Structure 1
Amino acid sequence: MFLELFLGFFTFLLIWDFIHKRRKNKLFKNAGIPGPKGLPLLGNILKLINENTETLTYFNKSMRTKYGKIWRMWFFHQDRVFVQDPKYFESILSSQQVISKNNSYSLLLPWLGDGLLLSTGSKWHARRKIFTPTFHFKILEQFVEIFDQQSTVMAKKLYDKADGKTVIDMFPVVCLTALDIIAETAMGVKINAQMNPDFPYAKAVTEVSQIIATRVIKGNQRYDIPFMITAPHIAFRLKKHISLMHDFTDTVIKERRVALEKSIADGSNKPLDVSDDMGVKKRMAFLDVLLQSTVDGKPLSNADIREEVDTFMFEGHDTTTSGISHTCYLIARHPEIQQKLFDEIRQVIGDDKNKAITTRELQELKYLDIVIKEGLRLYPPVPIIGRMTDSDVVLNGKLIPANTNITLLLYAALRDPEYFSNPDEFIPERFLNEKIDPFANVPFSAGPRNCIGQKFALLEMKSTISKLLRHFELLPLGAEVRPMQNLILRSASGINVGLRPRVYS
């Protein structure tokens, strides 16, 4: 009896799977989107069984060689279209019908909640409206002081290793600096992570990011129940680290809310739109903005605020860490470019390496601008982004069915020889001499869901990199990078440089 029930249920699943996939497979075929033949129920999940975040780059290359710049795969009952052709990016990223994040992002929900990164519809519009004025340049320039102070701490600590021989992995060094910066700008608190390298929050972010990135590609970990059954120790670590981060954020929010209520009671609080005598708005942490904001006339709850603060803490330090570290790695291996940068810095800032940099001076570092652009092209901090079609939609002439997961492979697209000459070479001048399709170079995404913090990130990158170059000569020491397509771009071998104290002649 049991065997008959099992066979009946299994037959039902096979029929359901065939019917479920039939229409989409037909539309994919008509649209000229190829892909590997899959197994019933499992789809193509077995093709990824031996892959990990380091081998994913090579896997994507092999798929492009076989199927072209756009292909499809089935992960159990879910379809996914992979795109690494910039000519599709404009139609996808600009579309109002492809504004939702794909289902891989759901793995971030236990950590980030339904904040600005993951939310959609009216909630996303309301939250985006709150934050947009906060990223106005006049507000951001007031954070330059924090960028400068924290990068000064980093430089002082690096002198102990700046002997011209020691290999330094820049990622963990910059990570603590960026964490200090985002904690002060997002939450208004000094956590002094650089003085405490074992700061639990930083370790938790690294661990959770790696676990979630692995879950995206591992069939047995992709869904919660199989994950808890087949990898219970990893599931426990994930829950423990997320709880640690939430406890930290909750504590800060409660303390800031009490302080806000006290300032309102004693009359010392100022409205968000109050400026000083010079007409400049006071510097406020993003948390302060949230505490004083309303949606439909109602204040945000602590839970609402936590999901936004957690989102900014994640997106605001891990991504800039990747961008700064990889750009330093490239500068160290191109001495002629480093010399041009140093000459520009001396011309703009002068020879006092301890002088605090100003926003105006950062804006005048034009060569540093294109060096960072080229660094982000070669090593985009977010190597993969995802969207979901809410309805059948035509993208660049191809009809894509509703509820299709679209994965944009930025890392591959930003090295496309059809759009960039010598695409694997570090040539900052290409941004002066070549006409570059704006949708071929989208390290911060584009369209309505572009990165709201990109101006913040670029200012932080310019401030931190210029500080390092004022104090040190970057040397090409250590192993070459081995890209890992984690939630953000990392390197399995570290992002290595050597340092030597800068000599001003």
Structure 2
Amino acid sequence: MDLKVLVLFTAIAAILLKFILNYLKARNSVKNIDGPTSIPLIGNIELAFLTNTNQLQWFFKNAKNFQKYFKMWLGTELWVVIYDPEMAEKVLTNPKLIKSNDYVFLKPWLGKGLLLNEETSMGLKMNSQNESNVPYVKAVNDLKVVSETTQKVISERRKYYAERPDELQESTNELGVRKRMPLIDTLLKAHVDGQPLSNRDIEDEVNTFLFAGHDTTSHTLGYFFYNVAKHPEVQEKIFE
């Protein structure tokens, strides 16, 4: 057998072996977690044939069938769906929570801010994880211009307060009401472990606030009102 063919065959075999071992490891890790019946290597394929509304109903149905959480598979990708508030709080407040690879393309913009510390596509399939020439990915890479502008603003603001340290303090207006400091000033004043935040740290957090504030409130309120409408007894308590 030709050496190149042998090397190629060995590489492919190694990749397949690693893939299978990771898949079996994932299945074994959740063997004690209940969930809807899935087909090995294919997963819960029925989801692919449901409309958005019916997909939501599918999740609601399984939320009733299983206590607090359940497992599901999208192909070979494992998902654990949590709908118990206390359990969700433990997951979301865990400092060791590691983001999935789905967040990778946001790092050039948000850096290591709060959201990405340790594909959203408006309903369109952009394939941004696999294709570097997708227009959206190019746009994210071009954010260097925005980053340079932000860094300039932060540097100028830092220099301003270095010359006027007394101004980096909370103050009150003529009515005695405490004036809120701008976000960038609050971050300049902040310290972590006794050390001031770097310009990069501040930029990451500012970008995270801008990103996280984009339609998140409206979506949350929309889902809140939907749930209130679905539960009249809760709606009555709110009214009271």
- Whether TM-score is above 0.5 comes out as yes
Aligned equivalent of 2:121, options 203, 206, 210: 210
Report deviation, 1:312: 0.7
Over residues 126-166 of structure 1, what are the superposed CA-to-partner deviations in whole Å (9 max), with x where a residue is unaligned? xxxxxxxxxxxxxxxxxxxxxxxxxxxxxxxxxxxxxxxxx
Residue 240 (str. 1) matches residue 139 (str. 2)? yes
Alignment of 1:168-187 (within 5 A): none
Contact 1:249 1:310 in 2 (8 A): no
Contact 2:72 2:80 in 1 (8 A): yes
Contact 2:36 2:62 in 1 (8 A): no
Query: Separation in 2 of the partners of 1:47 and 1:107?
Result: 29
Pairwise CA RMSD of aligned residues?
Answer: 4.1
Contact 2:45 2:74 in 1 (8 A): no
Counterpart of 1:394 in structure 2 is none
Report deviation, 1:72: 1.9
Contact 1:378 1:424 in 2 (8 A): no
Over residues 304-344 of structure 1, what are the superposed CA-to-partner deviations in whole Å (9 max), with x where a residue is unaligned? 11111111111224223546xxxxxxxxxxxxxxxxxxxxx
Counterpart of 1:292 in structure 2 is 189
Aligned equivalent of 2:21, options 19, 22, 25: 19
Counterpart of 2:117 in structure 1 is 119
Q: Which amino acid is 2:192 matched to?
A: V
Alignment of 1:315-394 (within 5 A): 315-322=212-219, 375-378=222-225
Query: Separation in 2 of the partners of 1:256 and 1:30?
Result: 50
Query: Separation in 2 of the partners of 1:320 and 1:98?
Result: 24
Alignment of 1:78-227 (within 5 A): 78-83=77-82, 85=83, 88-94=84-90, 97=94, 100=97, 102-103=99-100, 104-120=102-118, 209-210=120-121, 221=127, 223=129, 226-227=130-131
Query: Separation in 1 of the partners of 2:108 and 2:231?
Result: 37
Report deviation, 1:66: 7.1
Aligned equivalent of 2:200, options 289, 303, 306: 303
Contact 2:36 2:71 in 1 (8 A): yes
Query: Separation in 1 of the partners of 2:215 and 2:75?
Result: 28
Aligned equivalent of 2:153, options 250, 255, 259: 255
Q: Which amino acid is 1:80 matched to?
A: W
Over residues 364-391 of structure 1, what are the superposed CA-to-partner deviations in whole Å (9 max), with x where a residue is unaligned? xxxxxxxx6xx54145xxxxxxxxxxxx
Contact 2:188 2:202 in 1 (8 A): yes
Query: Separation in 2 of the partners of 1:296 and 1:113?
Result: 20
Query: Separation in 2 of the partners of 1:295 and 1:100?
Result: 20
TM-score (norm 2): 0.70
TM-score (norm 1): 0.38
Counterpart of 1:28 in structure 2 is 30
Contact 1:272 1:289 in 2 (8 A): no
Q: Which amino acid is 1:112 matched to?
A: L
Query: Separation in 2 of the partners of 1:98 and 1:92?
Result: 13
Q: Which amino acid is 1:423 matched to?
A: K
Q: Which amino acid is 1:110 matched to?
A: P
Secondary structure of the residue that 1:314 maps to in structure 2? helix
Residue 429 (str. 1) matches residue 236 (str. 2)? yes
Report deviation, 1:253: 4.7
Query: Separation in 1 of the partners of 2:131 and 2:48?
Result: 15
Secondary structure of the residue that 1:210 maps to in structure 2? coil
Over residues 27-78 of structure 1, what are the superposed CA-to-partner deviations in whole Å (9 max), with x where a residue is unaligned? 4232323442232xxx549777788xxx4453343466579452321555x4
Query: Separation in 2 of the partners of 1:314 and 1:90?
Result: 26
Report deviation, 1:290: 1.5
Contact 1:293 1:299 in 2 (8 A): yes
Q: Structure 2: any 5+ residue segments left out of the alignment? A: none
Over residues 253-280 of structure 1, what are the superposed CA-to-partner deviations in whole Å (9 max), with x where a residue is unaligned? 5235424523542x48513345457654
Query: Separation in 2 of the partners of 1:49 and 1:4?
Result: 38
Report deviation, 1:80: 1.8
Contact 1:253 1:306 in 2 (8 A): yes
Counterpart of 1:270 in structure 2 is 167
Query: Separation in 2 of the partners of 1:72 and 1:297?
Result: 44
Aligned in 2, Cα 1:75/1:240: closer, same or farther, shift over 3 Å?
same
Report deviation, 1:93: 1.5
Counterpart of 1:71 in structure 2 is 71
Secondary structure of the residue that 1:33 maps to in structure 2? coil
Query: Separation in 2 of the partners of 1:429 and 1:23?
Result: 47
Residue 59 (str. 1) matches residue 55 (str. 2)? yes
Fraction of identical pairs, as percent: 23
Report deviation, 1:286: 0.4
